[in-house]
Amino acid sequence: MASVTQHQIQKFHKDGFLVLEQFFSAEECDSMRSQIQRIVAEMEVPPHCRTAFSTREEEQLQAQGSSDYFLTSGDKIRFFFEKGVLDEKGNFLIPKEKSVSKIGHALHAYDPVFKQITHSPKVQELGKKLGLERPVVVQSMYIFKQPGIGGEVTPHQDATFLHTEPLGRILGFWIALEDATQENGCLWFIPGSHTNGITRRMVRAASGASTCVEFVGSEPAYEDKQFIPLPISKGGLILIHGEVVHKSELNSSESSRHAFTFHVMEAKGTTWSKENWLQPTPELPFPSLYT
């Protein structure tokens, strides 16, 4: 992996994202894939937790919102499923390894393989090049984007879900564990869209509300032509500014699009919102990126 140049960092600040091809080796990608296979093989999911995962706002409120399983997943390794893979009793209609949408949100803390990747020397070096002084890891996810059913992710900004004061302190690291193409659901971005703040927030609802989270504000309507696709090869890393607008389409192909992603916050001079769904816990305070 070549060292990141100042020019690339300037490009990141201009666009709100940066593509770094071949940041991780094929071996590193394969180690994450085989580790996730082991985790899925051992997955025991209580039927009441088999909440289909969706990014559509009303389904999000109903499915995730009514689910403590989601809200308390910040310091655990938990499973979220694609729509239509479970019958009404919560039994799998297809092989379970093809049913998972994502696994989150503390792989970086509790799994040795993902912990090693998250804190790898090249990630720490990149953090330093970006000028991060006290970066902490707030959450991680393994995303499967299953063939044929891997759902779309509607246009959003990560800061909608991970709010800080001031804004601009959240950074996503998105690692392609397989080639991500337009056919299998690569990421799409609106270049420069990270400079206008945010218009929508997902917050914890007041106790006694019917849902656990609610949305404040609304997502503007974006035009398809504003987005550019970012296909990337296996091992590539996309850096994602917390306020850049991005999405991915349904995976209509025969191949999956596995990715490992984690979010880092510059903790220096930053307040993590008490209203975020994700909160550090006594068991798992946000760990430092630098070791």
Buried/exposed code over 245-256 (b: 16+ C-beta within 10 A; e: otherwise)? bbbbbebebebb
Amino acid at 268: K
Backbone angles phi, psi at 220, to 5 degrees: -65, 165
Tokens of 246: 């991005």
CA distance 263 to 136: 9
Q: What are the E-state strand segments in the chain?
A: 17-20, 77-81, 100-105, 135-143, 153-156, 164-165, 170-176, 187-189, 200-204, 213-217, 228-230, 237-241, 246-248, 259-266, 271-272
| Confidence at residue 205, expressed as pLDDT on a 0 to 100 scale | 85
Tokens of 109: 């803390």
CA distance 246 to 159: 12
List, in sequence order, the alpha helices (H) in 66-195: 68-71, 107-110, 112-118, 121-129
| Confidence at residue 66, expressed as pLDDT on a 0 to 100 scale | 47
Q: Where are the domains of the chain?
A: 6-272
Amino acid at 244: V
| CATH number of this structure's domain 6-272 | 2.60.120.620
Amino acid at 275: E
pLDDT per residue rounded down to tens, the chain (291 residues): 668 999 999 999 999 999 999 999 999 999 999 999 999 999 876 555 555 555 667 665 555 444 677 888 999 999 888 888 877 777 788 888 898 999 999 999 999 999 999 999 999 999 999 999 999 999 999 999 999 888 899 999 999 999 999 999 999 999 999 999 999 999 999 999 999 999 999 999 887 777 788 999 999 999 999 999 999 999 999 999 999 999 999 999 999 999 999 999 999 999 999 999 999 999 999 999 999
pTM above 0.75, yes or no: yes
